[in-house]
Structure 1
């Protein structure tokens, strides 16, 4: 199924399988500029988001140790 077909299905509220959802997530990420067409280069906001996520995970690890 094409990405456009998946988008149309998602907009109707239809249930999608996990692989279909993954494909839409990747499509959305590229569409929003997460990948700038140069191998290995990502937008700075993605690195910032990743850093925040890593900090959150580290905080959870510390809380779980206590």
Structure 2
């Protein structure tokens, strides 16, 4: 399990996940969707499950589309 946090508006959630303790070493932060995609493209394996959750303004909808194409 891993939590991938994307965007400056969500950085606080990343910091709180680390401080909470149970995500220590399993939470990563990226400034934008492209950086998150580059990371996930190297880390994901067939059979992995990914939940992409964002508001419309965060613009992560296309991240999920790109990841789906990667494993299609």
Q: Same fold (TM over 0.5)?
A: no
TM-score by length of 2: 0.28
Bigger fraction of residues in helix: 1
Larger radius of gyration: 1
Highest RCO, 1 vs 2 (Cα 8 Å, sep ≥ 6): 2
Indicate the structure with greater strand content: 2
Relative to the length of structure 1, the TM-score reads 0.30
